[in-house]
């Protein structure tokens, strides 16, 4: 008799094994698809809502998720930490609201975790709407593995990697909790790079699970709003400088800050509001870092 293939997708992992944590911030447009894919996979969800002005929290409740309503926007990593503390299962799936799991993906991730006991974090193959597979074989915080020629390639199977995108991460809860979760000083961006580096430094591995597939809209987590691009670019610049300093990585940020400043002046001269907001945010983040200002304090979260 032919033995069944144990790696074939099943109906979903045991709900006592895995919980999903989803962070929302004005994510009503994309949340239903995300939560529906988790429900189909038999993965119970915790929705941590960052004081959304839309119906994100109500949508979470309608899908049977446990909803934690933050009184203010705590940022991505800090909100994920709240969800991690609320979870009780040995594995926690950290999911962006603009991501959906293909059938069987959750089951395949758990099976991979059993195959690779040394892996503290695993991630599926992430496919974007245009069919591009997001996979990074380098990291800002792993300069010893730089791909200096910028060669683009995608793995053909499971592999270890220095970085896994925070859009979808299966983590061993006890390991990540012992490391303190995401760095609470980071409001947004590079919190996944930092966590990946700490996991590796602690002697664990990061594994890309090729057969498990997730679909990522990328950039659709929050609805557009005035000032949101400026804020995002501010934190992108500030967080990059913060993690570089934290890990002692030499960089000359003045160059890209000057380029951003020149582009901001050009956008202002042409009355290009979109580019003015984008590059202005980068310059503001750089200057805030140089002045020793905290991104958390800027968001009123230091009290």
Taking every pair of Cα atoms in the chain, the longest distance, rounded to a whole number of angstroms, is 75
Please tell me which residue, 99 or 253, carries the higher pLDDT value.
99
- Give pLDDT tens digits for 97-114: 999 999 999 999 999 999
Specify whether the CB–CB gap between 22 and 47 falls below 8 A: yes
Q: 133: which strand partners?
A: 127
Rounded to whole angstroms, the Cα distance separating 234 from 264 reads: 13
By the 8 A CB rule, do 51 and 124 touch? no
pLDDT at 47: 98
What the block records as the tokens of 38 is: 């988790």
pLDDT (average), residues 220-244: 85
Q: Is pTM beyond 0.85 here?
A: yes
Q: Choose the most confident range, by mean pLDDT, from 62-76, 135-149, 215-229, 280-294.
A: 62-76
Q: How many helices (DSSP H) and strands (DSSP E) are in the chain?
A: 10, 10
**CA atoms within 13 A of residue 263's CA, in its CB half-sphere:** 17
Angle between helix 191-201 and 76-86 (nearest 10): 50
**Percentage of the chain lying above the pLDDT 70 cut:** 89
* β-strands 205-216, 66-69 pairing: unpaired
Helix (H, G, I), strand (E, B) or coil at 21: strand
Q: Indicate the helix (H) or strand (E) that contains 93.
A: strand 91-95
């Amino acid at each position: 008799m032919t033995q069944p293939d144990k790696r074939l997708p099943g109906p979903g992992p045991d709900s006592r094994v895995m919980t999903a944590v989803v962070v929302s911030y004005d994510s009503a447009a994309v949340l239903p698809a995300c939560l529906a894919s988790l429900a189909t996979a038999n993965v119970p969800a915790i929705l941590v809502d960052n004081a959304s002005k839309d119906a994100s929290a109500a949508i979470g409740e309608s899908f049977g998720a446990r909803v934690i309503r933050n009184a203010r926007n705590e940022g991505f990593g800090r909100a994920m930490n709240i969800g991690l503390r609320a979870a009780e299962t040995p594995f926690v799936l950290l999911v962006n609201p603009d991501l959906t799991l293909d059938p069987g993906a959750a089951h395949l991730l758990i099976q991979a975790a059993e195959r690779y006991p040394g892996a503290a974090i695993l991630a599926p193959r992430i496919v974007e709407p245009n069919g591009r597979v997001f996979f990074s074989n380098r990291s800002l915080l792993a300069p010893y593995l730089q791909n200096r020629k910028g060669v683009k390639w995608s793995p053909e199977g499971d592999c270890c990697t220095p970085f896994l995108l925070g859009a979808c991460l299966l983590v061993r809860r006890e390991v990540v909790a012992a490391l303190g979760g995401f760095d609470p000083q980071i409001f947004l961006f590079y919190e996944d790079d930092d966590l990946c580096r700490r996991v590796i430094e602690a002697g664990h591995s990061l594994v890309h699970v090729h057969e498990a597939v997730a679909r990522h809209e990328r950039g659709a987590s929050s609805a557009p709003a005035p000032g949101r691009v400026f804020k995002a670019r501010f934190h992108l610049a500030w967080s990059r400088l913060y993690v570089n300093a934290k890990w002692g990585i030499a960089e000359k940020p003045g160059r890209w800050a000057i380029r951003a400043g020149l582009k901001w002046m050009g956008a202002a001269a042409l009355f290009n509001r979109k580019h003015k907001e984008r590059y202005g945010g980068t310059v503001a983040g750089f200057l805030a870092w140089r002045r020793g200002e905290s991104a958390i304090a800027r968001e009123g979260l230091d009290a």
